[in-house]
Amino acid sequence: MIKIENLTKSYLHHKAGRKYVFKDLSFTIPSDTNVAIIGKNGAGKSTLMNLLARVDSPDSGRIITDKSISWPVGLSGGFQGSLSARENVKFIARTQGFRGKALYEKVAFVEEFAEIGDYFDLPTKTYSSGMKGRVAFGLSLAFDFDYYIVDEAMSVGDAHFKKKASQAFKDKVGKANIILVTHGMSQVRTMCDIVIILDEGQAKIYEDIEEGIKVYQNL
């Protein structure tokens, strides 16, 4: 279970002043549930995703859980551009406590999954956004979490890679749960158990997927 309790998040705009994304937002994600978070552009989906992943911090309020939550799958902004993918993956694996054989198994997994060939040993600043996404996607899957946050990550790459990415997540379901932040309703239908719609700073939960999608499409 993940409990969001009185969450407030705002940003200071140089012209408009302080803009609140959420004010006292509260809801609960049930245990063992695959969740879709949807809403119009600007509804706060990415902000909520970053708060859940601890990439960002709220102004006030709490996120209460005893579950491990991934960083957003496919997030490549944390790569050190002067280092290769191999070196970046090694560094991150070490921060997760892996050493020796276990560390090299993680590196080998990401290298095989990313399918970028010799580029894996070149500086990541030379990569296209798609190549970075492939490495970041593999990196996220290399570690075990209770919840994986997915933000349009399966749009990375060609048809072969998209199919591979989709299958990888289907393999995770049952061992872990996903929090899917998306505009793709087909993914919501095939991967999620409930829908959370963000609208005007509030969240509403729909246990009926089709009802949630219909409400979202009529916003």
Mean pLDDT value of segment 27-44: 93
> Nearest to residue 122, comparing CAs of 109, 111, 137, 108?
111
- Kindly report the pTM of this predicted structure: 0.83
| CA angle, residues 62, 63, 67, in degrees to nearest 5 | 150
Return the higher-pLDDT residue of 64 and 141: 64
Mean pLDDT value of segment 41-56: 91
Backbone φ and ψ of 191, nearest 5°: -120, -15
Residue 163: pLDDT band with limits 50, 70, 90: confident
| Strand residues in 47-158 grouped as ranges (E) | 60-65, 147-151
Helix or strand run (H / E) with residue 29: strand 17-29
Please give the Cα distance from 119 to 86 (Å, whole number): 10
Domain boundaries along the sequence of the chain: 1-70+145-153+173-219, 76-144
DSSP-assigned letters across all residues of 128-154:
-HHHHHHHHHHHHHTS--SEEEEESGG
Helix, strand and coil content of the chain, in percent to the nearest 5, comes to 40, 30, 30
Q: Answer whether 124's CB lies under 8 Å from 79's CB.
A: yes
Its CATH class, for the domain covering 1-70+145-153+173-219, is alpha beta
What percent of the chain has a predicted confidence (pLDDT) above 70? Answer: 95
> Nearest to residue 35, comparing CAs of 202, 216, 209?
209
Residue 155: pLDDT band with limits 50, 70, 90: low
Q: Which amino acid is at 39?
A: G
Mean pLDDT value of segment 124-134: 90
> Nearest to residue 48, comparing CAs of 8, 82, 83, 75?
8
Please give the Cα distance from 162 to 142 (Å, whole number): 17
Please give the Cα distance from 146 to 149 (Å, whole number): 10
Please give the Cα distance from 19 to 41 (Å, whole number): 15
Least confident of 48-57, 78-87, 149-158: 149-158
Which conformational region is residue 157 in: left (phi greater than 0), alpha (psi within -120 to 50 degrees), or beta? left
The pLDDT score that the predictor gives to residue 126 is: 95
